[in-house]
Amino acid sequence: GDKAFAQFLTDEIKEERKIQKHKSLPKVSGGWELEVHGTEAKLVRKIAGEKITVTFNINNSIPPSAEDEPQEERKPDEQEPELTSTPNFVVEVIKDDTKQTLVLDCHYPEDEIGHEGEEESDIFTIREVSFQPTGEADWKDTNYTLNTDSLDWALYDHLMDFLADRGVDNTFADELIELSTALEHQEYIRFLEDLKSFVKCQ
């Protein structure tokens, strides 16, 4: 059983390498520096008096809808639908002279992906906004968190503009999807390789 499993994994790794779009991770334009720790990635950018960091994790970032299409409905020569990783991401804006960090929790709404025709709509939304003490690893649940569901739209628009002025706009969000998808695929291949070594280990 294990031999067959290892053989299957070898073939699978070959296939996945074939369809791998990026041999190295795609860059995000606008002077963002990338740090990757396992499945977590962090993009950092400094502008006058501010540091902006965007953090996301590729785990559970592939929306379930991609797997809904039953095998039978696909034409035999059709590629499996391309999986796209759309992770939630957290934007932190740190101003040099304050002790507080503005934290914006953003995500890609599932129904927005793939509607490229609508020019005006944003491809990501802000879900929550809060202040957190700068430099503390654990965020406090006691800090007020603004949920955007019931938010005055004018205030929401200003928050979106505030992000766009710092380089977090639709172009950025598109490139983040690209980066996250490449990272997810890279980690998946690495996982298959680890699994193969594990299965073969006597």
Please report whether residue 147 resides in a domain. yes
Banded pLDDT at 71 (limits 50, 70, 90): very low
Please report whether residue 123 resides in a domain. yes
Residues 110-138, buried b or exposed e (16+ Cβ, 10 A)?
A: eeeeeeeeeeeebbbebbebbbbeeeeee
Counted domains in the chain: 1
Each residue's pLDDT tens digit, 172-182: 999 999 999 99
Taking the C-alpha atoms of residue 90 and residue 132, their distance in angstroms, rounded to an integer, is: 13
Taking the C-alpha atoms of residue 84 and residue 113, their distance in angstroms, rounded to an integer, is: 10
Q: Give mean pLDDT, residues 151-163.
A: 95
pTM of the predicted model as reported, rounded to 2 decimal places: 0.85
Here the CATH number for the domain that contains residue 93 is 3.10.280.10
| CB 186, CB 58: distance < 8 Å | no
Please report whether residue 65 resides in a domain. no
Domain that holds residue 172: 28-59+83-110+119-192
Please report whether residue 2 resides in a domain. no
Please report whether residue 158 resides in a domain. yes
